[in-house]
Every structure is written in C-alpha cells, then in structure tokens.
C-alpha cells in the first residue's frame, strides 16, 4: 500500500475490498505438485482486481508482465528483470521481490517516522 498499489491491467489504485484477489505472480498451478506449496509465500503474492486475476488465468508472468508499465510493476514491488519471470527462477524472483518489499517498507517507516534514524539492513 505504501507505493499506491496499481492494478496490473487497469492501472487503477487497488483498495483492499471484496473485488480484490490475492494473485500468485508465478502461478501456483505451474509448479510441480511437490513444490506447489512453495508458491504460497509473501514474495509471490500481488493484489489485483478479481476480473483481472481471472483474465490472467494460468498465463505465466513471462507472458503478461511484459505488457505492464514500469510504474505499475514498481507499485507492486515486482522485479523488472524479465529473466526472473519464470518458474525455473522462482527462488531468485522471490529473493529480489523480498528485497523490493523490504525497501518499500523502509520507505514507509521513514515517511511515517520523520526525524527518526532507522538502521540499515
């Protein structure tokens, strides 16, 4: 929410209401059965409109993310390195996204606590 989450397709602001879905950026269904549970982690979840989530279906991020603006990707803390948008590189994608989420949270803290010194790391 810190970066003003924007919907992947409409670019509209995402407000957490009933018409918003939790979306697996790297589709859970594309992982082998024994690894599928690993897809359920905070670094793989974005919040998007329900109709957009249904429209994406099982498309991989290497298909649909390349059509999404940098501004929207930034708002959702999605790594822009297209090489990471593949199931085979899930761990690297999640590592990079965790770093971006932490960076956003630190920005939020700095803005929320002006004048306070925050430790790095």
Quick one: pLDDT at residue 16? Answer: 62
Confidence band of 120 (pLDDT split at 50, 70, 90):
low
Among candidates 60, 86, 64, 83, which has minimal Cα distance to 8? Answer: 64
Strand partners, 6: 13
pLDDT 10s digits, 43-67: 999 888 888 888 887 788 988 899 8
Q: Is residue 47 part of a domain?
A: yes
- Determine phi and psi for 49, rounding to 5 degrees: -60, 145
pLDDT at 109: 82
Number of domains in the chain: 1
In-domain check, residue 97:
yes
Q: What are 72's two structure tokens?
A: 């929207």
Contact status, residue 60 vs residue 27, Cβ threshold 8 Å: yes
Q: Is 9 inside any structural domain?
A: no
pLDDT band for 96, please (50, 70, 90 cuts): very high
- 64 in a structural domain: yes
Q: Is residue 117 part of a domain?
A: no
Domain span at residue 71 reads: 20-112
Distance set, CA 77 to CA 9, 21, 35, 36, 109 (Å): 15, 17, 24, 22, 16
In this prediction, residue 113 carries a pLDDT of 76
Q: Is residue 101 part of a domain?
A: yes
């Amino acid at each position: 929410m810190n970066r003003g989450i924007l919907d992947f397709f409409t670019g509209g602001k995402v407000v957490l209401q009933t018409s918003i879905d939790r979306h697996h950026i790297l589709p859970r269904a594309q992982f082998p059965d024994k690894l599928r549970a690993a897809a359920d982690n905070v670094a793989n979840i974005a919040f998007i409109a329900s109709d957009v989530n249904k429209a994406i279906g099982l498309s991989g991020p290497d298909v649909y993310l390349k059509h999404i603006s940098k501004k929207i990707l930034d708002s959702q803390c999605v790594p822009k390195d297209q090489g990471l948008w593949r199931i085979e590189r899930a761990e690297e994608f999640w590592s990079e996204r965790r770093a971006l989420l932490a960076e956003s949270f630190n920005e939020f803290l700095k803005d929320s606590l002006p004048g306070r010194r925050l430790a790095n790391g």
